[in-house]
Structure formats: structure tokens, C-alpha cells
Amino acid sequence: MTIIQNLISFILHIDQHLVEIIQQFGPLSYVILFLIVFVETGIVIFPFLPGDSLLFAAGALATRGAFSIILLIIVFFTAAVIGDTVNYQIGKKVGTAISPNSLIGRVINQEKMTKAENFFNRHGGKTIVIARFMPFIRTFVPFVAGASRMNYSHFIFYNVVGAALWVGICTMAGYFFGNIPIIKENFSTVLLLIIFVSVLPALVGFMKSRLQKK
């Protein structure tokens, strides 16, 4: 429970934690940010790490001189592209060999793999790009793409496009709007709103699926 509470605290007060990281690690803070984004996008069992909120908060801090906005975008973009690429390769190597009784196996069974493969054949590009803006889902999509044997040249193209849009929009939104007084004073609420808006498409899709089954 303590781990979950610490994670929630980190996400909701990420601007304060980033300041602490900068004070303690200096230039190495960029490495830490790279690793967080890489793990969140590249390791399928870590979908709960901060993504959108991290980019927004870091962009907001860049206006105060804590980060170089150019270097920040390069670090985030590189981490996002490499993360999805690694996740794709993991899915391609072990996706079809996952035990149905495992946690991932329950979420991604063979029937879902077949449906995912058909879906990617029709809408693969849109899936990779849109998933960038959806917490949890963005961690699973490249894994399923690899396990479904999505064409790699198509995947890497949309991987780069999606990463550029995600990093550019979220980081620059923080850079331009993060230090507006009303947002700065209600930063935790803004982060909660960002998270809610990010997961809203997934919630709508889930509800539609449940209603169709009924």
C-alpha cells in the first residue's frame, strides 16, 4: 500500500519531485527522465509510471530554467521511440509464448492476439499514434503489435510520428501553460485532469464494448 501511495504522491506532486531530482542529480536528471519514459513505454509490466503528467510538469519547469526545453524534447522523444521499439521486439519474441495463466496472458490471450493482428492490418498506423495519448494502453499497444507481427517498417514510422506528437504536445503544453498562475496554483488538479482526459477514450471504448455484449 505504501508503494501505491508513494506512486500516487509522485504523480500528483511531480513538479515538486522533479525539483528535488534536479537539486540532487543536476544534469543527470535528464538520464532519470529518459529512464522513466523508456520504462513506461518499453516494459509491458510498468504501464503505471507517469507519462503525460511527467512531460507536462517537465515542460513547465523548463520555463523556470530548470531544464533546456530543446534537450528535454530530444530526451523524451528518444526515450519514447526506443521504448516502443523495445516493447515491439519483446512482443515479437515472447508475445505468443506467454502462459494463458500469467497476468499478461489473461489480458492478451490468443483470441485477442488474432483480433489485434486483424485490427493492425487495417488500422495499425492510427493505433500506434492514438495510443501514445492513452495511459496504460500506450504500454500494451507496441507489445501487441510485435506479438501480432505488425509490419516493422509501418510500426517504426508511426512510432516516430506518435512519439513526436506526444512529446511535442505534452511538453510544449507544460512549457506554455504550466506557469500560468491559476494552473500553477492548482497543479495537482491540472495533472488529475490531464490523466482523466487521457484515459477517457479507453473508458468510452470499454463502456461501448460492455453495452454491445449486453
**Is pLDDT larger for residue 184 or for residue 72?**
72
**Is pLDDT larger for residue 113 or for residue 151?**
151
d(CA 214, CA 209): 9
In the block, residue with C-alpha cell 485490427: 119
Query: Is residue 47 within 8 Å of 40, Cβ to Cβ?
Result: yes
Domain ranges of the chain: 2-213
Q: What is the pLDDT of residue 55?
A: 92
In this prediction, residues 64-85 reach a mean pLDDT of 94
**Is pLDDT larger for residue 68 or for residue 178?**
68
Which three cell numbers, joined as nine digits, stand for 136? 496504460
Res 94 pLDDT > 70: yes
- The contacts of residue 44 (CB under 8 Å, 6+ apart) are 87, 90, 91, 104, 139, 140, 143
**What is the chain's mean pLDDT, rounded?**
79
Size of the chain, expressed as the number of residues it contains: 214
